[in-house]
Amino acid sequence: MEKKRLLSKNVIFIILMTALIIPLLLTVSFAATYNLSFATFRPPTDAFAKPWLLPMAKELEERTNGQVKMTIHWAEALGKGRDQFNMVKGGVADITDFPGVWMPGKFTLSEVNSLPLAADEPLNVLKAMNIVAEKGYFDKQWGEVEVLGWHVTSPLVIMFRKIRPETVEDLAGLKTRASGGYISDFIKSLKMVPVQVLPPDAYMAWQTGVVDAWVHPFAAMVKYKFIELPTRSILDTKLGVIGNAALIMNKKKFASLPPDIQDVVREVGAKYCEIYAGVGVEEDERTIPKLKAANIEIFKFSPEETQKMKAMALPIWEKYIADNEAKGLPGREVATEFVKALRQLGENPPYNP
């Protein structure tokens, strides 16, 4: 009888312990994991890989206790860079960093961040974009994907093969490779002549004189090996940034994540968009001493000539407004909000609403 009672107690104890332990085991052992595929046109040797993309993947995993794992597909392994917006939209990839210039005419309102002479600090351009984006102005054009943040390069400067111009008038007629869009429109307004050169042809174009000038951040001198070739000077006037680019994610994939993980993905994405902007600036800072050692003069225009350039930039801002208003889009509102945000951040863009 005693044995039966003891056995009965043991059975009850085991049942109770099982009822308590199994839910805990299920929670620990079967916590959902989310694998995110990141498509990029960049190779693993890209200057942004080590300081930006790899740490972003690592931080996502660490901050979600291993629930989020991001696999990076380098060098267009999942598809061509120009197709990566549609790849993310359709779920072929989960995340990518997409330059809007690859789909001309689609992301016209967010081109505001590429307007000439908008700001000296690229991080201020990014912050102003975030302020405008929060008001919903970009939702329709970018709404097919989840935008985690905006990307901007370091400031554009003008490199010269043979001259050191003293005035804006000295720029007239120079064959110049620019970044396209409104920056190229600005180059035309300076009476320079835009010339298309693909990146693989950059070295030969500089060596042979296909171009007289080149618009790019300072680091282009090393990236395209111009520093190995005769270069006279660089005008350190911050023409603008190459912007209108975003870190984007597939909407269904984002919606499938629990709310707490969505918050982490948003926070980490926004953080690394700021890091992206800083990487370009740091790359330029490392380049400048090399340029000075190569006897390439870095100079600024006088205040009077700088003011001339600003006056010549204003019609490009008006063009952005007119281009968007002609499509029934709030170009003037966006430009006004963008300028307002920039001025609050201490910048002084040409447009004054």
pLDDT value at 338 more than 90: yes
Cα–Cα distance measured from residue 193 to residue 213, given in angstroms and rounded to the nearest whole number? 10
The confidence score (pLDDT) of residue 27 equals 45
Distance of CA 273 to the CA centre of its chain: 7
Instruction: Name the CA dihedral angle for 347, 348, 350, 353, rounded to a multiple of 10 degrees.
Output: 90
Per-residue pLDDT tens digits for 77-105: 999 999 999 999 999 999 999 999 899 99
Q: Is residue 274 part of a domain?
A: yes
Per-residue pLDDT tens digits for 169-211: 999 999 999 988 999 999 999 999 999 998 889 999 999 999 9
Per-residue pLDDT tens digits for 253-302: 999 999 999 999 999 999 999 999 999 999 999 999 999 999 999 999 99
pLDDT value at 321 more than 60: yes
Q: Are residues 251 and 183 in the same domain?
A: no
pLDDT value at 8 more than 90: no
Q: Is residue 75 part of a domain?
A: yes
Q: Is residue 3 part of a domain?
A: no
Give strand ranges (E) for the chain.
34-39, 68-73, 95-99, 146-151, 157-160, 175-177, 193-194, 213-216, 233-235, 245-249, 297-299
Task: State the maximum Cα–Cα separation within the chain, in Å, rounded to a whole number.
Answer: 111
Cα–Cα distance measured from residue 128 to residue 341, given in angstroms and rounded to the nearest whole number? 5
Cα–Cα distance measured from residue 63 to residue 66, given in angstroms and rounded to the nearest whole number? 8
Q: Are residues 196 and 258 in the same domain?
A: no
Average pLDDT over residues 243-251: 96
For residue 203, give the nearest of 179, 184, 221 by alpha carbon. 221
Q: Are residues 56 and 93 in the same domain?
A: yes
Q: Are residues 225 and 89 in the same domain?
A: no
Q: Are residues 133 and 80 in the same domain?
A: yes
Q: Which domain holds residue 184?
A: 157-241+294-315
Q: Which amino acid is at 308?
A: K
Q: Is residue 97 part of a domain?
A: yes
Q: Are residues 226 and 300 in the same domain?
A: yes
User: Domain with 224 in it: what CATH number?
Assistant: 3.40.190.10
Cα–Cα distance measured from residue 45 to residue 302, given in angstroms and rounded to the nearest whole number? 39
pTM of the complete model: 0.88
For residue 94, give the nearest of 258, 325, 252, 225 by alpha carbon. 252
Q: Is residue 25 part of a domain?
A: no
For residue 219, give the nearest of 54, 41, 48, 97 by alpha carbon. 48
HSE of 110, CA atoms in CB hemisphere, 13 A: 33
For tokens 């989020």, the residue is 68
Q: Are residues 132 and 269 in the same domain?
A: yes
In total, how many domains does the chain have?
A: 2
Q: Are residues 272 and 127 in the same domain?
A: yes
Q: Is residue 12 part of a domain?
A: no
User: Domain with 42 in it: what CATH number?
Assistant: 3.40.190.170
Q: Is residue 212 part of a domain?
A: yes
Q: Are residues 70 and 54 in the same domain?
A: yes
Q: Is residue 221 part of a domain?
A: yes
Q: Are residues 167 and 148 in the same domain?
A: no
The confidence score (pLDDT) of residue 179 equals 85
Q: Are residues 180 and 302 in the same domain?
A: yes
HSE of 262, CA atoms in CB hemisphere, 13 A: 12
Give the 3-state secondary structure of residue 193.
Answer: strand
